Amino acid sequence: MRVPVLAYHAVNIAGNDYAGNDLVAFAADLRLIDDLGLRIVPLHWVVEQLTGAAERDLGRCVALTCDDGSAFDFHDLVHPAHGPQRSLYHCMLDFVAERGADAQPDLHLTSFVIASPEARERMDQVCLAGLGWMGEDWWRDAAESGLIAIENHSWDHNHPCLETPGVDGMPRGSFLDVDNHVRAEAEIAAATRFIEARIAPRPTRIFCYPFSHVPEYVHREYLPQFGHEHGMTAAMGDGAMPVTTGADRWNLPRYICGWHWKSTEALRGILAGS
């Protein structure tokens, strides 16, 4: 197994060209992946392969993810500066309409959402445009579409815009401060419970580290030893290499759009190398 996992942030909209708009990049990348003869598969297939829960042929495959769970994942919205935007979900439907359902029969996107309604509201007001882009109204529809999985991006991202301190006196702004059981339970297991209550009967099984910060305690102790509490079977970081057999399931690598690649040609190089 040698599967590159790509990551997008749908709210990254600084213009309407590839380099400045993750939605535009995502739409183009679906076509590039297809043109290269690669297969898009659900991230949970990759995790199941890694953990021995399933045995599939994952040769020449790619998995797609997106972070932070803004409404741009699912809803078409008008950006105040850059106009109408096609959601990641509709970009996938456009791709299917253009190339047929047989082109990528396992087409799938894993969306890592932030659980806390208060944190999402605060991010919407302070970091975004205050237009209600961080709601959860779409989670169930997305999960039921069969094209999107809703997964765990922590309780509140321990985001710097939140009131300080967080649980157990935790300073804000870095996920590395999630360094003990109380903090890890509040950031990961509580998020599992909240998200699963909204997408039931579907579970959430994959964690994604906020800021790609991988705290030693969470990585070495909490995730491996407290599965009965948090329910996670793997965790995603930003290692910029394909997921291979034997990869560290508690810090699986991804390539981040806008960081590890900024153009179709750069992504072509990543995919060719994998």
The residue ranges that bind Zn ion (CB under 5 A) are 67-68, 210
By the 8 A CB rule, do 214 and 251 touch? Answer: yes
Three-state DSSP state, 43: helix
For residues 68 and 238, which CB has a smaller minimum distance to Zn ion in the complex?
68
CB of 188 to Zn ion, least distance (A): 14
For residues 4 and 69, which CB has a smaller minimum distance to Zn ion in the complex?
69
CB of 67 to Zn ion, least distance (A): 4
Assigned token pair, 147: 């094209």
Alpha helices in the chain (DSSP H): 22-35, 43-51, 88-99, 117-126, 139-145, 181-184, 190-199, 216-217, 223-225, 227-230, 264-273
For residues 29 and 156, which CB has a smaller minimum distance to Zn ion in the complex?
156
Burial category of 53 from C-beta neighbours within 10 Å (exposed 0-12, middle 13-18, buried 19 and up): exposed
CB of 208 to Zn ion, least distance (A): 7
The DSSP symbol for 158 reads T
For residues 196 and 238, which CB has a smaller minimum distance to Zn ion in the complex?
238
CB of 56 to Zn ion, least distance (A): 29
